[in-house]
Amino acid sequence: MTNDTPKTGLQLRSLVTDDGYLKLLLKEAPVPEPGEDEVVVRIEATPINPSDQATLISPADVSTGETTGSGAATEYRAKLRPGLESRVKPRIGKPLAAGNEGAGTVVKAGSGKAAQALLGKTVAVMDGALYCQYRKVNVMQCLPLNEGTSAREGASSFVNPLTALGMVETMRREGFKAIIHTAAASNLGQMLNRLCLKDGVELINIVRKPEQAELLKSQGAKYVCNSSDADFSQQLTAAIEATGAYVAFDATGGGELGSRILTCMEKAALKDTELPGPYGSNTFKQLYIYGSLDLSPTVISRNFGFSWGINAWLLTPFLQKVGPERTLELQKRVADELTTTFASHYSDEISLTDALKADIVAGYSQQATGKKYLINPSL
Amino acid sequence: MTNDTPKTGLQLRSLVTDDGYLKLLLKEAPVPEPGEDEVVVRIEATPINPSDQATLISPADVSTGETTGSGAATEYRAKLRPGLESRVKPRIGKPLAAGNEGAGTVVKAGSGKAAQALLGKTVAVMDGALYCQYRKVNVMQCLPLNEGTSAREGASSFVNPLTALGMVETMRREGFKAIIHTAAASNLGQMLNRLCLKDGVELINIVRKPEQAELLKSQGAKYVCNSSDADFSQQLTAAIEATGAYVAFDATGGGELGSRILTCMEKAALKDTELPGPYGSNTFKQLYIYGSLDLSPTVISRNFGFSWGINAWLLTPFLQKVGPERTLELQKRVADELTTTFASHYSDEISLTDALKADIVAGYSQQATGKKYLINPSL
């Protein structure tokens, strides 16, 4: 297998320049040699997740994007969005890698037993630089896929599945008994819905459009609230009363949605209280912000008493909290249910070079529900 | 002593009416008889704290206030502030008591040993209805004041002292090593400053006016940042770098101050980081909102990474968390340092009837720094 492997491979880089541009470019680099416990994976499928976009493209105003050159010399360039100067300053002049997860074939393996056992296998990988053709990783970063599972099927084995599992586990660990989830028609949202149905956890799905509500209902969702409906607050309050969902995971981050959710939680908590005290209910209400689909400030109206928390939620600190043993158990479950509970769907499969084309950049940077891009660097 | 006690006493009530008014009125009621473990306290000093105002006066637009009658027939009336309809609905038609803490003389005592031991003593009391002349309470609600301590000196023995102690204890329990405090020139703020100086805890005081900064500096404060200064963010970031203060207690609640504090914490945390990742620093940053001096929404810009929490902080849940033994220890310390570390200052001493006069209501409802009202129901 090693014999087929070329000497060099392409790697995608995101670069902020000191004259106010973000560039995407390809770098040709030698295919690395693995150390004892390392393998080299030919990456065949790697998704563009919202969590990749922060490094890859978020600072750019993609409406100004243009692409020049072709093949390995392709280059994308867009102006920076205004107001980001201080935030991007540390990365000026440094070409950054991106791509947090993917899958492919192990084409080289170090001398260690664990590495040798993976040679020729299809593995899923978690890393920060998978938008490339060949990537050297430690065997611990690899999840061997079950026989018959393709790289495309295994491309999203970590971020979304572990996030969905992490939400349910966070709910249990913190003593809540049901979950509210926003942007619920996303790939992750549909996955969480399947997981909750399978595990018997009540889930309130919040969407913005009637067709998203229909989609989730067709997949068995019991509670779906459309935030564009005039009676959204009543719908949501009733669903919270029915389920006791006092923990919410919000992918939007900005605007008033989080505050509205906390307000509905408080209304549900006070349902049977004749005369609430000045500090509201004793029911603890938790909002986790795990994404920034809406980049505007979070606006919190504080009309939901004095028993609440708003926190950022990220996968990596969650996995650190539960520890390596539990993480391995969760990963094993993902591998076993990769084509059912944890299946992902992609609207577009593109090459590394495609990922630098202005119209395609404009497409994936939108993070629109139902549009999910998969890069296949081996195309 | 029982012989001097009249048969009835006045009690202040706050009433929301169904035609859109908040009224303050006085009710004449029999002086109660104590049960075995109860005492009756003649209330001689009870402060108007921000935490009392929620029930007492917050729903009213005090610019519309007017007072009629005199003596026990005095009545205050103001229109409700607009937009509060659903929030005040549960209390319409119910005359509510107020007054969370105070001090006075035990004039009647039940047959129990603990009750009898308090007869004739000056005690501080924690309760929810102390804006009255005589109040029956359980002996457990009483803190006997040390010999020579007056009711006026003991009037604020709970809310501010235990809140200041609670902030320092919360800092320690959660692994932080210094504190940021807003509205720092308040009675509570000056108390927290004395407590931190005494206990060797670094404190960053945030104020809005130069004279408040001078006041705190004259009391030994080392770090004072004025949020009205153009270089406030630089001042605060430098103070956080110097102290490692990653927990803040914010009395204002509304607006952008909390978000600015979290942003400065993140800047300090990233000081020595050459290239921060897309999720910011790993330093956990905590903002506690414990008041609502600014009733506008909390606006959070989320430019401080993904390791943070924003929570409501209240005294009662804190005391429940540390438990009754620790609470007693803290109360003992308050009694011992009531005229030093935990001394309170009042700008105005008023009678129960005064508390219903429109100009005085307008005064105390402002919650202005340096203006602190004490009700003496025995006047």
**Strands (DSSP E) found in B82-159:** 101-109, 122-126, 134-138, 142-144
Paired residues of B123 in beta bridges: B104, B144
Q: Residues A224-246: what's their mean pLDDT?
A: 98
Question: How do beta strands B223-226 and B202-207 pair?
Answer: parallel
Asked if B299 lies within 8 A of A299 by C-beta distance, the reply is yes
- Is A72 found in the same domain as A200? no
- Is B178 found in the same domain as B47? no
Q: Mind telling me how many Å the CA of A218 is from chain B's nearest CA?
A: 34
- Is B368 found in the same domain as B272? no
Residue A329 resides in a domain: no
- Is B310 found in the same domain as B250? yes
The residue range of the domain holding B308 is 162-317
Percent of chain B with pLDDT over 70: 99
pLDDT tens string B9-24: 999 999 999 999 999 9
For residue A1, pLDDT over 70 is answered with no
Residue A250 resides in a domain: yes
CA count, 13 A, side-chain hemisphere, B152: 12
Residue B333 resides in a domain: no
Contacts of A90 in chain B (CB under 8 A): 273-276
> What is chain A's length?
379
CB-closest option in A274, A308, A310 to B90? A274
pLDDT tens string B90-118: 899 999 999 999 999 999 999 999 999 99
* Per-chain mean pLDDT for chain A: 94
Residue B69 resides in a domain: yes
pLDDT tens string B312-338: 999 999 999 999 999 999 999 999 999
Q: Mind telling me how many Å the CA of A278 is from chain B's nearest CA?
A: 6
For residue B166, pLDDT over 80 is answered with yes
Residue A288 resides in a domain: yes
pLDDT tens string B349-372: 999 999 999 999 999 998 777 789
> What is chain B's length?
379
pLDDT score, position A84: 83
| Burial bucket for residue B140 (CB in 10 Å: 0-12, 13-18, 19+) | exposed
- Is B208 found in the same domain as B295? yes
Q: Which of A155, A158, A74 is nearest to A355 (CA)?
A: A74
Residue B326 resides in a domain: no
Percent of chain A with pLDDT over 70: 99
ipTM of predicted assembly, 2 dp: 0.86
Helix A324-336 × helix A315-322 angle, to 10°: 120
pLDDT score, position A111: 97
CA A75 from centre of chain = 26
pLDDT tens string A281-296: 999 999 999 998 898 9
Question: How do beta strands A38-47 and A134-138 pair?
Answer: antiparallel
Asked if B299 lies within 8 A of A301 by C-beta distance, the reply is no
pLDDT tens string B44-78: 999 999 889 989 999 999 999 999 999 999 999 99
CB-closest option in B58, B292, B302 to A292? B302
Instruction: Give the pair of three-digit tokens for residue B357.
Output: 């006069």
Cα separation of B206 and B225, whole Å? 5
Give the chain A residue nearest B97 (alpha carbons). Answer: A277
Query: pTM of the entire structure?
Result: 0.88
Asked if B300 lies within 8 A of A298 by C-beta distance, the reply is yes
pLDDT tens string A341-366: 999 989 999 999 999 999 999 999 98
- Distances in Å between the alpha carbon of B285 and those of A194, A296, B173, B303? 34, 21, 15, 12
- Is A370 found in the same domain as A282? no
Which of A297, A317, A337 is the last residue in one of the domains?
A317
- Is B166 found in the same domain as B147? no
CB-closest option in B289, B299, B309 to A297? B299
Residue B322 resides in a domain: no
For residue A138, pLDDT over 80 is answered with yes
Please identify which residue in the block is written with the tokens 């990456």.
Answer: A43
Asked if B297 lies within 8 A of A302 by C-beta distance, the reply is yes
- Is A127 found in the same domain as A97? yes
- Is B23 found in the same domain as B146? yes
User: Which of the pair, B356 or A278, is modelled with greater confidence?
Assistant: B356
- Is B352 found in the same domain as B280? no
Task: Report helix, strand and coil shares of chain B as percent, to nearest 5.
Answer: 35, 30, 35
Contacts of B276 in chain A (CB under 8 A): 90
* Count of domains forming chain B: 2
Q: Mind telling me how many Å the CA of A256 is from chain B's nearest CA?
A: 10
For residue B1, pLDDT over 70 is answered with no
Q: Which of A376, A325, A327 is nearest to A355 (CA)?
A: A376
Question: The domain that contains A192 carries what CATH number?
Answer: 3.40.50.720
The confidence band for A3, taking pLDDT boundaries of 50, 70 and 90, is low
Question: The domain that contains B96 carries what CATH number?
Answer: 3.90.180.10
Local structure of A94: helix, strand or coil: coil
- Is B129 found in the same domain as B172? no
CB-closest option in A299, A306, A312 to B306? A312
The confidence band for A194, taking pLDDT boundaries of 50, 70 and 90, is very high
- Is B177 found in the same domain as B143? no
